[in-house]
Structure 1
Amino acid sequence: MFANSRTVASAQTGPHDKLAALVDRHRDAVYRKPLAAYSAGAFDAAIVAWRNAGAAPLIIDAGCGVGESTLRLATQFPDHFVMGIDQSESRIVRGKDWWDGEWPGNFVWVRADLVDFWRQLFEAGIRPARHYLLYPNPWPKIGQLARRWHAHAVFPTVVALGGVLECRSNWDLYIEEFALAVEWLCGVRPVVEAWSPEAGVEPMTPFERKYLASGHGLHRCVVTLPSPLAAPWAGR
């Protein structure tokens, strides 16, 4: 069955009461997790591919899964270069027979740890023009807050990268929390809205397609972030 995805179930009825304290802690702390062994090589290869393609404005497709969103973003923004990043090699290399027509030439898929890749981008002084987090694992149990990206120790670095940041989810509280964390870190209030693709527009990811077919409400947070130079806590 395709249209059989369950809605997110959680005991939370509003933003987590420990979110603000956790975001504050991460903003003020130095994040020292060592890079994964494969991260340096993966990052270097991705940067070479981008520069060889002309170093066009960069789009980060964070957690790209099987890579459909990477291809759609590369098609939608032909004057940009898209990096689709996922930790799972099997998802990235899986067959792409679901894609009709020619592949765009302005993208690369990267097998890397997102936590490492974000920090490497920041340390290298590379700032994306656009940045997507499409349907991340919501970790909906109350005790799982720290596993949500906006409550992770790397999130101040994500915000410090700047650009247009967009997150989508089928759980409205995830998007509400995400927007709160962004605002607390940079002082800019994101746009939070119920959302669905325009008529005739293909869903961006397999999850988006399945959630729509299952009758879920979709939600997104979109924000144009300020210059990272205005964020002294960045890169930690």
Structure 2
Amino acid sequence: MTRPDETPESPAADAAAAPEGVPFPKAIRTFVKRGGRTTTGQSKAFETLGPQFLASFTGQPIDFEKTFGRQAPTVLEIGFGMGEATAHIASGLPGTNFLCCEVHEPGVGALLKRIGEQGIGNIRILQHDAVEVIDQMIPEASLDGVHIFFPDPWHKKRHHKRRLVQPALVARLARRLKPGGYLHCATDWQPYAQQILEVLGAEPLLQNTAADYAPRPAYRPLTKFENRGLKLGHGVWDVVFTRR
């Protein structure tokens, strides 16, 4: 989850600014890197678990079998916040590999700590800009799924261009899904849910699994953040499309 710990910057306009295969200018990012205190436990997790569970950004196509030490379906997660939902999902789906992109250091440390505490072995973390990872490291038709949970909604109209789910990024992701692979987005901001539904619906490689919004899949847990919102009367919308 991207919010509240990490906010994407301008993936629609910026991600479209350079074609695939062309290095990104340093100014282009899909996030705004925020400060935050890394706890002692998180720092220890970096030291003890980082060598095993942190993957390096190489700019070269990733070998999933080598990275995870096995052949298994692979899901890409973009922005996981503090990693609560990620750890829960990975624990519940031990036969699936999860490649997770997040730049917020306390969040990465928190997920590493959860990995150690819960004995999770099917997560690898890339602490790098997701668009560069997608363009330079993820081969086409290689992913079984993509998760984007609670990205920053950028409520003000003048900031809508900064929203993560935009046509340019969705087209990139669709090409990297295997036929039958899925793209699952979730948000608690209805106007953003409507935009996500429209953007995914306009991508010719994708088809909706529901008439509009999908029921929450069993693998996605209700996080503390989401539960707080539900108690305040906020809705949550899941959008799940599959690759044709």
Please state if 1:166 is matched with 2:184: yes
Question: Equivalent pairs: percent with the same residue?
Answer: 21
Match of 1:220 in 2: 238
Of 199, 209, 213 in structure 2, the residue corresponding to residue 193 of structure 1 is 213
C-alpha distance 216-105 of structure 1, shift in aligned 2 (>3 A): same
Whole-angstrom distance in 1 between the partners of 2:217 and 2:166: 28
Structure 2 contact 85–220 (Cα < 8 Å) conserved: no
Unpaired runs of 5+ in structure 2?
5-11, 27-54
Asked if structure 2 preserves the Cα contact closer than 8 Å seen for 1:168 and 1:221, the reply is yes
Q: Distance in 2 between matches of 1:89 and 1:165?
A: 26
The answer for the alignment partner of 2:93 in structure 1 is 77
Q: Using a 3 Å threshold, how does the CA distance of structure 1 residues 77 and 164 change in structure 2: closer, same or farther?
A: same
Determine helix, strand or coil for the equivalent of 2:228: helix
1:188-220 Cα deviation digits (max 9, x unpaired): 44233275687xx98354432332343311111
Matched, 1:87 2:87: no
1:60 matched to 2:60? The reply is: no
2:147/2:183 contact within 8 Å kept: yes
Could you tell which deviates more after superposition, 185-194 or 79-88? 185-194
1:173, distance to aligned residue in structure 2 (A): 1.9
Verify the 8 A CA contact 1:159 1:182 in the aligned structure 2.
Answer: no
Amino acid at match of 1:131: V
Pick the aligned partner of 2:170 from 147, 155, 160.
155
TM-score, normalised to structure 1, is: 0.68
Aligned amino acid, residue 222 of structure 1? V
**Unaligned segments of structure 1, at least 5 residues:** 6-21, 227-236
C-alpha separation between the residues in 1 aligned to 2:61 and 2:87?
16
Letter in 2 for 1:84: C
Q: Which residue of 1 aligns with 2:19?
A: 30
> Could you say which residue in structure 2 is the equivalent of 1:109?
125
User: Tell me, what secondary structure is at the counterpart of 1:104?
Assistant: coil
CA distance in 2, matches of 1:100, 1:181: 37
Deviation string 1:103-140 (CA, Å, 9 cap, x unpaired) is 22111222111111121244x34621111100000112
User: Relative to structure 1, is the Cα distance of residues 177 and 100 closer, same or farther in structure 2, using a 3 angstrom cutoff?
Assistant: same
Q: Number of aligned pairs? A: 200
Structure 2 distance, partners of 1:29, 1:209, is: 39
Q: Is the 8 A contact 1:159 1:225 kept in 2?
A: yes
Secondary structure of the 2:237 match is strand
Pairwise CA distance, 1:67: 1.6
Structure 1: how far apart are the matches of 2:78 and 2:192? Answer: 16
Q: How far apart, CA to CA, are the structure 1 residues paired with 2:203 and 2:188?
A: 24
Structure 1 runs (4+) deviating above 6 angstroms are: 95-101
SS in 2 for 1:129: strand
Written as runs of structure 1 = structure 2, the 5 A alignment for 1:37-52 is 41-42=56-57, 47=62, 50-51=65-66, 52=68
Contact 1:121-1:127 within 8 A present in 2 as well: no
Counterpart-to-counterpart distance in 2, 1:35 and 1:209: 39
The residue type paired with residue 209 of structure 1 is N
The answer to whether 1:183 aligns with 2:172 is: no
Offset of residue 223 of structure 1: 0.8
User: Residue 147 of structure 2: SS of its match in structure 1?
Assistant: strand
Q: Write the deviation string for residues 75-117 of structure 1: whole angstroms up to 9, x where unpaired.
A: 1211111112101122111377778963221112221111111
Q: Residues of 2 paired with 1:121 and 1:45: CA distance?
A: 5
Amino acid across the alignment from 2:19: V
